[in-house]
Structure 1
């Protein structure tokens, strides 16, 4: 079981690398890695388990965050209809996106960043993601709102991008044109 000690922190070089594609069908080792990412996310959202093992709650985790430079992410988050979206994906890729942008009004955080970074992170309001599930099934997800933001955050990790790279250093709370806030 992954715990906070397994999560690499800001400054570790793996967080700035472009992760490698996962050869499909996935090896047993890659499947175990992806399963462990999803297990962490689920455990971190369970108050009892999180408290017992000292897990910081998270809605997503990418393989580079545990020192594995491969294109794998796990996301578990509720959408605007209060439906649970739970996906563990190999080689996720954004294939289309809106012009309109959105940002979390409370800002973003990251399990690999042990400090608060104030500012708005502008991301696409709507995206379409393609990827492959643990079972080897190709999926195409149309996402908006919070799930779209979470998927972009995790896919950024696969490209060596941290959330704070998107914050305007001169004006962290600048609101971009054609963008709207999302409450969390």
Structure 2
């Protein structure tokens, strides 16, 4: 079971590496890592388990955040219609995106960042993505709203990018052209 002490924090060199592509079939260890990442998110959103183990709530976590520099992450959150998205994503790519942008009005957070970082993080409002499941099945999905933002946040982790790298340093709350806020 992944706990908070297993999650590396900003400043750790692995968080700035470009993670390695994964090859199929995945090893048993790699499959277990995917399951563990997803289970962490499920546990972190369960008040009883989170409280018992001191877990911060998360909707996404990437393998580099547990010091494994591989192109894998998990997402666990509802979509705009209230359907639960529960995914382990391998070798993800954004194949297309909207011109329109979006950002979380309250700012983004990260399990690897133990402080509030004020400011808007510009993201694409809608994305079409391709990725593989842990069993090697290729998937294509369209995402919008918070799932699209979470996917982009986790994909950044695979490329050594932290969410605050996108924030306007001079004016963190500057209006983002052609973007609307996502109200949580």
Alpha-carbon shift at residue 57 of structure 1 (Å): 0.2
| CA distance in structure 1 between the partners assigned to 2:109 and 2:81 by the alignment | 23
Residue of structure 2 in register with 1:114 after alignment: 114
Q: How does 1:96-111 map to 2 (within 5 A)?
A: 96-111=96-111
Residue of structure 1 in register with 2:81 after alignment: 81
2:42 counterpart SS class:
helix
Deviation track 1:20-58 (CA, whole Å, cap 9, x = no partner) reads 001112111111111111110111011111011110000
| CA distance in structure 2 between the partners assigned to 1:86 and 1:141 by the alignment | 13
1:157 counterpart SS class:
helix
Task: Count residues with an aligned counterpart.
Answer: 184
1:29 counterpart SS class:
helix
Higher mean C-alpha deviation, range 101-110 or range 24-33? 24-33
Q: How does 1:21-170 map to 2 (within 5 A)?
A: 21-170=21-170
TM-score by length of 1: 0.98
Structure 1 portions without partners, runs of 5+: none
1:172 counterpart SS class:
coil
Q: Is the 8 A contact 2:88 2:134 kept in 1?
A: yes
| CA distance in structure 2 between the partners assigned to 1:158 and 1:26 by the alignment | 18
| CA distance in structure 1 between the partners assigned to 2:34 and 2:148 by the alignment | 20
TM-score by length of 2: 0.98
Higher mean C-alpha deviation, range 62-71 or range 89-98? 89-98
Higher mean C-alpha deviation, range 89-98 or range 118-127? 89-98
Q: Is the 8 A contact 2:25 2:135 kept in 1?
A: no
Higher mean C-alpha deviation, range 23-32 or range 11-20? 23-32
Deviation track 1:52-109 (CA, whole Å, cap 9, x = no partner) reads 1110000000000000000000001111111111111111111111111000001000
Deviation track 1:130-154 (CA, whole Å, cap 9, x = no partner) reads 1111232211110001100000000
